[in-house]
Structure 1
Amino acid sequence: GSFIDELAEMLGVSVTDGQFARLAFAAPHTIDLGTRCAAFMAQAVASAQQEGVPLEVITASLSLAIARNYLSKVVANRRLGDRVIITGAVFYNQAIVSAFHRELEGKTLIVPEHKEISGAIGAALLAREEIEGGKSGFKGFQRVIDSQVTLSTFTCKGCDNNCTITRMEIPGEKATYYGSRCDRYDAAAGLAKQETFFDERERLLFSQYRKDSGAGPAVGLPRALLVYDFAPLLIAFLNALGVRCVLSSTSTGEIIAKSVELSYTDSCFPLKLLHGHAAALAEADYVLYPSAIRMGEKDGDENQKYSCPLVQAAPYIIRQSVNLGDRLLIPTLDFSQGIDDVIKNLTDVAVKMGFSRKKGKEAAL
């Protein structure tokens, strides 16, 4: 939904008053905008606009592209039943609803009346089940409406996100807060940071990392993009070689600013962030970052398991923009070619650092 809003604003079209849908329904035909990520689709829309493609055609094509993208990337090969519920505020846009009808021909699509808050309704129902027989702390909407509510804002300095927090105060009650990206000011959680599954995932991904361990050359790993997929493999490989593995810090305001400075404007934020993390490893002897071609074995001709073209090219992009030169080690990871191919490419990286091929292969294994 927010992606459509952004592109509609770029096109000078309003979504909320139905203009987007009216234009789309007036289109005599559509064009292929692809089913890739938002960054590529935005480029395709911009190119179509520059080529003079009518707004009617662009809006209709964008609606279809979004439906196809969702079905191919999110639903993928999961089985859909004959009756499909589509929820979310995006389905106030009748062009999007129509696009899903077209792509799911033969199925019955149900659009709930309160589609924009269906998730909240579900959460409320689950909460009610959880406290069944207990007492709810919910004040009720009317009580809040009738109260003298004071709203104020401040900037949280707990991390580099600098979130704008809204404080809601009702006389005689504890203040409540909202607007943070974490649960620091969650009224129920208190001010102590609560552990989440994302924290657990991060801990597991980097559990083998030992700061300042190892000897020999310092090999930097930028904590961005594919490292969040391959950290266990890459860290274990470097540990087995006995080198000093250096992991960049979590993203900070300084790293983000450097990322924006070094990257080109059309790339997505995760790719931009890679630039800043790579630049933060300036003191490392080498920087290791893979070029991932396929993320698994091919599933026929229709599902090649390719990673994004920009992700494939990412190490070559940062080699130039961050001026890494020969310091950048780029193992090619194409899991469709089998494990032996991955082992060979990691071994080649070890050889470039001065290790024997035997030692490199042992580390890759």
Structure 2
Amino acid sequence: GKLGISIKEDLARLALSSEAPIRLGERCTVFMEKDVTAFMQQGRDVRDITAGLAYAVVHNYLNRVVRGRAIGERIYFQGGTAYNKAVAAAFATVLGKEIIVPPHNGVIGAIGAALLAREKEQREHYRSRFRGFDLSLVKFKIRQFICKGCSNNCDIQECTIDGERTYWGDKCSDRYHKKAKSEQKPVLDDLFAQYNQWLVEDLAGPDGLGVKIGMPRTMTFYDRFPFWRTYFSQLGAEVVLSDVTNKSIAAQGRELCISEPCFPIVAGHGHYLDLVDKNVDFVFLPQIINSETETPEKESWVCPWGQTLPLMIRNGLRDELQVQKLLMPVVHFRDGIGFVKKEMLSVAKRLGVSKKTNDRAVEMAFQAQAHFQRLLLNTGEKALADLAASGRQAVVIVGRPYNIFDPGINLSVPEKLRSNYGVDVLPMDFLPLNGIDVSGFHENMFWNYGKKIMQAAIFVGRMKNLHLVYFTNFKCGPDSYIKHFVRDAVGAPYLTLQFDDHGNDAGIMTRCEAYLESKGLLHGFGVRRPAIDFVSR
């Protein structure tokens, strides 16, 4: 490497001999490498640089992983990094405590997995399928192909062992179901499928205007579409939706996108192009700025990327005819029905519709949205009652609606939790969140979705039978700090899953399984937690 030393033979020896370790901070390895290069050019002692690296590992872990949580008196240091005596010494120096490096520290995780497998075998009384360490004695065959079952065109790997086939790489699980990993069955209906079904009910077909309005099935579509489908139905326009997010849409979005936003925004560009291919008369891309709120003294913004997605798409177009087909009203739902009527009038005029018809359409749209919300809450109330009656634990998925309900974004993880593990799964949109005060954890939560996510976290924290999984994306600015407040609000360990345009779910589902195992949800029961006293916090 750059230091010209052997990590295995020299790094620890040199670092332990340093008398003046260099402060390298706790940044990621890319920036750390630049700092190391700079210090080498300055002629700094390699012993001090290596010692600085050891301390940097320690500070990075304590500040970015431990994050202020209590550290006990008996500390075990495991994993491959523990082979480096300098890092172990740095932990001991910083913490002022004894650090124990156990034997076989590099394979402690594998030993733990073996113990869990033994516990499961003893608990469920099944015969082990372990075939031994000599793979040459195992007959297996690997085949790769592209699934044509839907527009995702997933790259599938088929593994055949002793005549038994398993499949990996599918996003939707509709065609190549994996064998269930638990005998338990969920007691709740598939609320995610119900949500998506209700979302598109009464979709406006051909009517008096003879105009096709294309609407991308992305971003605020997943919580606002009852409003828009009703509005255009009342105007007499036909609504045409883009396909559900798939590999082709994501790839097209990446080509059109001129910036580096989160994956849902990239996919949004692809949804626009999908509508262009459907030959619609207009593409509706509302610039939604904020949302209704029960706390008017605080703002309720939609994130800047979501607000400006229509502008990014427009600025990426070179065909002026396509630009002219865009309907891009600025909408402030927070400011009430009268204000929204004025903002939507520009759309009505372009479609040749009167102000009276526009105003009536907005009124009906607000009613439809309210009906949709009541339907969710009533269904959620029944689901919570069913859980209580059955004594079952459940997972609550929190996040932005386009992450929770778009299977092309979340790799159908909610459905896989149900089908593969028999776990009951609740979307946060079905929970009674109104009236839950988040100011005890963040006194000025001005993001609309951020407030709802925190309200859901508080609700889950109060319930003994609910556990939280947070769906988010790489590069999501608001979520990058909201999740820190969620940890305090829920008062218990939770799982964060970050989605981007990588289609392989293996790592995601491994993390899910580990989380479910830690909560006892794979055993037909859950780890019950004491209720949290929120009054005293």
Common topology (TM > 0.5): yes
Asked whether the 8 Å contact 1:156–1:164 carries over to 2, the reply is yes
Q: CA deviation at 1:296?
A: 4.2
**Once the two structures are superposed, what CA deviation does each residue of 1:63-117 show, in whole Å capped at 9, x if it has no partner?**
xxxxxxxxxxxxxxxxxxxxxxxxxxxxxx7555422477x54756999979x98
**One-letter code aligned to 1:166:** Q
Which structure 2 residue ranges, 5 or more long, are not aligned?
1-7, 16-20, 37-56, 80-107, 181-188, 364-537
Counterpart CA distance in 1 for 2:122 and 2:25 is 54
**One-letter code aligned to 2:355:** R
Q: CA deviation at 1:26?
A: 6.0
Identity of aligned residues (%): 22
CA RMSD of aligned residues (A): 4.6
Asked whether the 8 Å contact 1:149–1:168 carries over to 2, the reply is no
Name the structure 1 match of 2:313: 318
Asked whether the 8 Å contact 1:224–1:273 carries over to 2, the reply is yes
Q: Secondary structure of 1:168's match?
A: strand
Name the structure 2 match of 1:284: 280
Q: Which has the higher contact order (CA 8 A, sep 6+)?
A: 2
Closer, same or farther: CA 214–268 of 1 in aligned 2, 3 Å: same
Counterpart CA distance in 2 for 1:111 and 1:284 is 62
Closer, same or farther: CA 149–202 of 1 in aligned 2, 3 Å: farther
**One-letter code aligned to 1:99:** N
**Once the two structures are superposed, what CA deviation does each residue of 1:197-241 show, in whole Å capped at 9, x if it has no partner?**
54333222222324x432312111122222223211111111121
Q: Secondary structure of 1:166's match?
A: strand
Matches within 5 A, 1:321-360: 321-322=316-317, 323=319, 324-360=322-358
2:293 to 297, 303, 320: 297
Q: CA deviation at 1:320?
A: 2.9
* Larger-gyration structure (1/2): 2
Counterpart CA distance in 2 for 1:209 and 1:111 is 59
Counterpart CA distance in 2 for 1:244 and 1:342 is 21
Counterpart CA distance in 2 for 1:260 and 1:228 is 21
Name the structure 1 match of 2:196: 202
Q: Secondary structure of 2:275's match?
A: coil
Closer, same or farther: CA 200–96 of 1 in aligned 2, 3 Å: farther
Name the structure 1 match of 2:145: 155
Matches within 5 A, 1:185-200: 185-188=176-179, 197-200=191-194
Which structure 1 residue ranges, 5 or more long, are not aligned?
1-16, 34-44, 57-92, 190-194
Closer, same or farther: CA 29–177 of 1 in aligned 2, 3 Å: closer
Name the structure 2 match of 1:63: none
Asked whether the 8 Å contact 1:298–1:336 carries over to 2, the reply is no
Counterpart CA distance in 1 for 2:35 and 2:301 is 32
Q: Secondary structure of 1:214's match?
A: coil
Asked whether the 8 Å contact 2:337–2:362 carries over to 1, the reply is no
**One-letter code aligned to 1:168:** C
Q: Secondary structure of 1:223's match?
A: coil
TM-score (norm 2): 0.42
Asked whether the 8 Å contact 2:199–2:226 carries over to 1, the reply is yes
Closer, same or farther: CA 356–176 of 1 in aligned 2, 3 Å: same
Q: CA deviation at 1:265?
A: 4.4
Name the structure 2 match of 1:259: 253
TM-score (norm 1): 0.59
Counterpart CA distance in 1 for 2:193 and 2:359 is 32
Counterpart CA distance in 1 for 2:33 and 2:332 is 38
Closer, same or farther: CA 300–347 of 1 in aligned 2, 3 Å: closer
Counterpart CA distance in 1 for 2:158 and 2:33 is 47
**One-letter code aligned to 1:325:** V
Name the structure 2 match of 1:362: 360
Name the structure 2 match of 1:177: 167
Asked whether the 8 Å contact 1:219–1:287 carries over to 2, the reply is yes
**Once the two structures are superposed, what CA deviation does each residue of 1:116-151 show, in whole Å capped at 9, x if it has no partner?**
989x98xx89x96xx998664763575997960414
